[in-house]
Amino acid sequence: MNIPTIPIKAGSGPDPERPTEQVAFHRTELSIILSLYGRMVAAGEWRDYGISCLREVAVFSVFRRTAEMPLYRIEKRPKLRAKQGMYAVVGTGGQVLKRGADLKSVLRVLEKKLIRIVE
């Protein structure tokens, strides 16, 4: 399965003839993330999200309120695929809560918080 990349207009990168590419979440990755997001919204914990697709990282940010700093950032860094794993959950203070190669296992750190909320 090919993961699509989104090109930026030509001339915006260091080489004006070659467009710069962005890292983006694939549809299956977004499905997993939005499933968790929906459960957390239903629990009343999360209210808003934002997606950033940059040159080296794609970020799904979760907010309690729109005007605040994100509670969590779910990051995808393909360059770290062979080293630490390309997915990470980052907390408010910038601490990495979990990192790995499998998105579902990385998001389990947030699932545990959902279980505590429901109990």
Average pLDDT across the chain, whole number: 81
pLDDT at 55 over 80: yes
pTM as predicted: 0.75
> 111 near 41, Cβ under 8 Å?
no
pLDDT at 10 over 50: no
pLDDT score at 22? 86
- In terms of residues, how long is the chain? 119
Q: Which residues contact 91 (CB under 8 A, 6 or more apart)?
A: 71, 72, 97
CA distance 119 to 115: 6
CA end-to-end distance (rounded Å), the chain: 39
More reliable by pLDDT, 84 or 1: 84
